[in-house]
Structure 1
């Protein structure tokens, strides 16, 4: 068998956990299978990272995706005031060394994706030296940060970015649980603004916590390559204009997800308010996800015919407010009744829509809503409905709806 056929076999065996056994049969197969066997590696870091507490250097030439999981004992120091072991600052991670990572990652020629994070909901910060080290590696295309605070002590100066003129990062994901404390939110927001602003010429996919999103950076710059934008978390409170206008400098956007949880003292806001003069800025949009849509929002009557996936949902899902209210005490869930959702769907012209997700409370318009779905979206192939009874727990009839032939 030639090398291409063997590589295809290796790719099939790897998800089924059969490649490890095959690679142990002889030296030749072991050598050929190394790039597939060690394509994705996970490194658990519980003490300061060094050459002896990291991935063996013999594997570096084969790694394409690297996941670094922070398991140091100082993660919970901010909450429990524990003794510190690897840092003098309880807010900052002390086990990840930027200088070591910069040297190590540059010795991984196949490396395309780096993920760093931890699994607890704690206030634990990632310093600029680590972020700088990863972003400056020219072969990386995707960088994901999970759970960390983003440079909470000091934002990098704009003069130190761009970090590496040869770097061409296309995907930047920063996902974090909504924090009660909002520690150093202004510093984190400024740091994010510096970083993503420097990457705007190459970024195609961007995910950020909505409450830390650098709104001024979105508004002032052009994002000519961006295809996907996801903002999730608390509704951003630092905006003084319609959100659709703020992110209008993204003409090639194809996927937009705005998943905002609403604090109890905040009401939902239209993305395109009535009587506001705007132009729909995303002519190539194919996917739209919006939490708590407003029936007065002008956005929905201006969606392009290219739309293929549409989701109107609660954030978090309304079932959590019903079944586990203690977990959602900070938020409220103004879930739409069927009649309001019917108004929105009736204004949408999406002839090629293939997937639709809805979350609503049934009322007198329930049957009309379900009937309109079949009539308005003839190309629909996937439908997901989260349908709730009214608070009085009244019975809701199930209707039979047939799609037109």
Structure 2
């Protein structure tokens, strides 16, 4: 970059150019960073803001894992757990026999991540605000120890934590543990092995302990349904929570309506309840018929599985709602692929008439995205015609439609095209 151009473009202008390029792709910064020393200095915080490392053995050198020059710039670190002991948990669970462990003392806990050198490395990344712990194979029965969790969550700069390892299924904090956790704004936990390895009592206690520490700061929370501390949710304050996503098998007890369970989450804008049912379970309404006030006035995204036709919640959805999903979980279309699964699902799919009845009670005229799942019946034309008139701003319509065998095509009038 010539001196003349540099005099015309001050640092603020260059920073704006860099910000525009970053929105497209970080790769766009590489040619710019090679033009001069100033450009490279301004680009480095963006080029090196993300790092991914695969860890297959305990960290023996911080420099060997991530080059020293990158440490001051990393904001997001993704750790892929390649521990050779990953299969040990599943082996023990399935065969009740101990398999040789390379680094772990417990077949359900990762010994590779419990490394003082790794913790030291994290403390030397001043801009690190997001950490993700991922399994190489998400179906492995493999967990992170409490010592590792505590060391990560105590990082003062950390704000977002993503983890798909089990949350210390065999270890809990001691009674005199007074570790101060960072005020996380996002906690995202996926659990891909609930069908073969249900949560332990210790694991449930750990998530409960974490939420008591984090509920005042969390803004986004994603949890497996099997780990949700249902009985305690309504007793905690959630002043900042904007997004709640719960996925997994619906709990049977307590049967308290969700509008009561989540009543302290007054600032929710996104509520996703992707809850599957067992074959003997019945769909459950979201709200209490006697509900006097809708608890989430700012709700913009509402996703519910197995909707109940006479649920009063749909008449109370705010006009500003932007996204609505009414479907099965999993979709009935996925049934053939899931027949070999260890879990047997129910698919109580609504008819077109029932979905129409639900939508006729909604006042969400600002709706932009809609997903529905139904069995076609004689009211399908009415349903599709209603969509175009009731939701004039709709931009995305996703339909999972089923019909009985040996039925002819159902004509759809052209006026329903969006």
> What is the aligned partner in structure 1 of residue 140 from structure 2?
122
In 2: Cα distance, 1:56 partner to 1:171 partner: 27
| Distance (Å, rounded) in 2 between the aligned partners of 1:10 and 1:305 | 38
Distance 2:369 2:216 in 1: 31
One of 287, 306, 321 as aligned partner of 1:292: 306
Tell whether 2:330 aligns with 1:310: no
Offset at residue 304 of structure 1 (A): 1.8
- TM-superposed CA distance for 1:381, in Å, is 2.4
**Structure 1 counterpart of 2:96:** none
Q: 2:195 aligns with which of 153, 159, 180?
A: 180
The reply on whether 1:107 has 2:124 as its aligned counterpart is yes
Q: Match of 2:188, SS?
A: strand
For residue 104 of structure 1, report the CA deviation from its aligned partner.
Answer: 2.2
The equivalent residue for 2:77 is: 66
Of 212, 220, 225 in structure 2, the residue corresponding to residue 205 of structure 1 is 220
Distance change (3 Å), C-alpha of 1:354 and 1:64: same
What TM-score do the two structures reach when normalised by structure 1?
A: 0.90
**Which residue in the other structure is 2:11 paired with?**
3
The CA deviation at 1:392 is 5.0
Pairwise CA RMSD of aligned residues?
A: 2.5
Alignment correspondent of 1:142: 160
- The answer for unaligned runs of 5 or more in structure 1 is none
Offset from partner CA, 1:117-150 (integer Å, 9 cap, x none)? 114201101111111111111111111112x111
Q: Secondary structure at the match of 2:71?
A: helix
Matched, 1:248 2:259: no
Q: Deviations over 1:52-96 (max 9, x none)?
A: 552123211000111011011111112235421111211111100
Report the counterpart of residue 94 of structure 1 in structure 2: 111
Q: Deviations over 1:340-371 (max 9, x none)?
A: 11111011111222221112221111111111
For residue 23 of structure 1, report the CA deviation from its aligned partner. Answer: 4.1
Q: Distance in 2 between matches of 1:214 and 1:278?
A: 25
Alignment of 1:187-198 (within 5 A): 187-198=202-213
Question: Contact conserved, 2:58 with 2:115, CA < 8 A, in 1?
Answer: no
* Mean CA deviation greater in 291-300 or 176-185: 176-185
Which residue in 2 is equivalent to 1:34? Answer: 44
1:79 partnered with 2:97: no
Q: Give the Cα–Cα distance (whole angstroms) in 2 for the partners of residues 220 and 159 of structure 1.
A: 23
2:3 maps to what in 1? none
Are the equivalent residues in 2 in contact too, given 1:205–1:228 (CA < 8 A)? yes
Output the CA distance in 1 between the equivalents of 2:414 and 2:217: 49
1:319-338 deviation per Cα after TM superposition (whole angstroms, max 9, x unaligned): 21146543585212212111
Q: 1:219-275 CA distances to partner (integer Å, 9 max, x unpaired)?
A: 21111111110001111234242222111111111110000111223222112244x
Give the paired residue count. Answer: 400
Tell me how far apart the structure 2 counterparts of residues 197 and 307 of structure 1 sit (CA, whole Å): 30
